[in-house]
Structure 1
């Protein structure tokens, strides 16, 4: 992943440090007048780009607010993103050699606003609750299950698509269904997930009728995973 956005640097949080490095100019704010000279040895301004030295003496590119949002989005939920949070997301971005002042706070808060990372039971019938990130540490630990309906009838009479995605690897399993009934869903979970891979820790659904029924509850209890 590469950040290519070239935003107006004169208006962002990097400018006071750049002014001091280039012109020894300090802002009017008393606190910054003390803070910027103290941090000066850790920053380098080269080729119109501000860098910060890490504890390992590696130069990390300082990002603007716009670039920060882009980096977080790409690392968390981009093409190679694994929807990780906290320390794992922090480690992933630091490996890319980026830096901004509120990194740790953002690593904790960003996944809480990511909708694919959320499971909100009975959202329509219950008042909104705080969203929490789904923690996955290995492949096939947690799957997201969804029913796409209706679709134009196929030559074999299929009018539904059942799709599931592994939260860690983003691997997808998709099958067409004739009716979308609970029996078809239960057979899909056993044949395409449990027997093909491993018993998951949890399967996340939108609690539709095909997913929220006694047959699926009994299946969860039999193989000891959560829904």
Structure 2
């Protein structure tokens, strides 16, 4: 902004400060300014000791209906291999929901390598 004003033949002592203040107050600058993207809390790695040890399952939707009246998407991802399986579904019923962190009675994680293949077969994956 200042360089353009100087090229046009304008100059005053506080032009740098005035330009900075004007840009800070500009609505377009506030919307399109570069933002620092720091996580609110430190990131912690998710440890997977071997393939199919830890999975993530997400259900997305509803989307606009597609062929076959599908409007939901269920996605399963293995943390170790980054293997992804996805299936489009017409409806989501109670039997297809998966808790965020399944636990046993002892507070230990459920062995996903035993229960997840059965769940994926039930969903038709």
TM-score (norm 1): 0.26
Greater gyration radius: 2
- Say which structure, 1 or 2, has more relative contact order (CA 8 Å, 6+ apart): 2
